């Protein structure tokens, strides 16, 4: 199916690995010109280098970073049609999970909201004017199933993502009449660096449970989170949904939340 994306311009944050890398690759395959924003590039991102890909090195903890990314997209490619706010999860230098509400300090809460909510607010604020100039666009915010299924684990992260869901609904109400659609995609646990890197979630849970990291990812985490499929989600599975939402094929989809979570959310 032709997604009618060829020639459009997209920004993807957190684009150097994981879900962001999968989204970047998929958009490029569809003929989209992509501004890939991340603190550092990676060999995997550089493999897709070419005239349709621009890497912008930024730290989204910097309040000026989102505006800079949008300005580079307009400067390099002439406008903006798609914004994928993918960057999120543990802020730089932070290890998750935390197992109790009492664990994060005030500073931990501020940093978590800065990375997972405020950076999105700034990116959307910068992106809307150039999108309106082109007659509309699509914004996809990557949230989390934990926004709708809060627990004591990672309570600050879940609260930030719940705020992101609320923001998305509000944006969809205001800007749909002007041609800008805004949706969320809510992954469950995804086999990304958050889990797989040394010192990441798999190692932390393994130490807590007295087991090894591979057992956590292959068995303990799927059982603990009651994943219906029995496995973690793959980044490409998230990317496919994001790119469909970016497409004009989803012209009547706005203000929606898509769970791509291996059956993590059980409620109707």
Residue 265 lies in a domain: no
Note whether 168 and 141 are within 8 A (CB).
yes
Residue 21 lies in a domain: yes
**What tens digit of pLDDT does each residue of 55-83 get?**
999 999 999 999 999 999 999 999 999 99
- Whether 145 is catalytic: no
CATH number for position 26: 3.40.50.720
**What tens digit of pLDDT does each residue of 195-240 get?**
888 888 888 898 988 999 889 999 999 999 999 999 999 999 999 9
Q: Name the phi and psi angles at 35, rounded to 5.
A: -95, 110
Looking at the DSSP bridge assignments, the partners of residue 13 are 37
The residue from 77, 113, 115, 157 that is catalytic is 157
Supply the range of the domain harboring residue 132: 9-190+234-260
Residue 267 lies in a domain: no
Residue 116 lies in a domain: yes
Q: How far from the centroid of its chain's Cα atoms is residue 158's Cα? A: 14
Give the pLDDT of residue 249: 97
For residues 95 and 20, the model is more confident at 20
Q: DSSP 3-state assignment of 39? A: coil
- The reported pTM is 0.96
Asked if residue 194 has pLDDT above 90, the reply is: no
Whether 91 and 146 share a structural domain: yes
Whether 170 and 51 share a structural domain: yes
């Amino acid at each position: 199916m032709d997604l009618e994306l060829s020639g459009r311009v997209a920004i993807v944050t957190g684009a150097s690995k994981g879900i962001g890398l999968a989204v970047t690759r998929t958009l490029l395959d569809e003929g989209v010109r992509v501004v890939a924003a991340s603190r550092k590039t990676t060999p995997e991102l550089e493999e897709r280098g070419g005239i349709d890909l621009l890497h912008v090195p930024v730290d989204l903890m910097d309040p000026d970073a989102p505006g800079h990314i949008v300005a580079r997209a307009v400067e390099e490619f002439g406008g903006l049609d798609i914004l994928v706010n993918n960057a999120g999860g543990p802020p730089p230098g932070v290890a998750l999970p935390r197992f109790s509400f009492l664990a994060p300090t005030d500073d931990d809460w501020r940093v978590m909201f800065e990375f997972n909510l405020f950076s999105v607010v700034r990116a959307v604020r910068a992106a809307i004017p150039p999108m309106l100039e082109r007659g509309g666009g699509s914004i996809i915010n990557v949230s989390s199933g934990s926004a709708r299924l809060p627990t004591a684990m990672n309570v600050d992260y879940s609260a930030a993502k719940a705020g992101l869901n609320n923001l998305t609904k509000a944006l969809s109400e205001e800007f749909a009449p002007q041609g800008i659609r805004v949706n969320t995609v809510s992954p469950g646990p995804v086999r990304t660096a958050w889990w797989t890197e040394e010192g990441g979630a798999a190692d932390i849970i393994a130490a807590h449970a007295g087991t090894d990291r591979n057992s956590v990812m292959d068995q303990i985490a799927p059982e603990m989170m009651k994943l219906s499929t029995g496995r973690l989600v793959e980044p490409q599975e998230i990317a496919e949904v994001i790119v469909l939402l970016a497409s004009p094929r989803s012209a009547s989809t706005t203000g929606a939340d898509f769970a791509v979570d291996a059956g993590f959310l059980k409620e109707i």
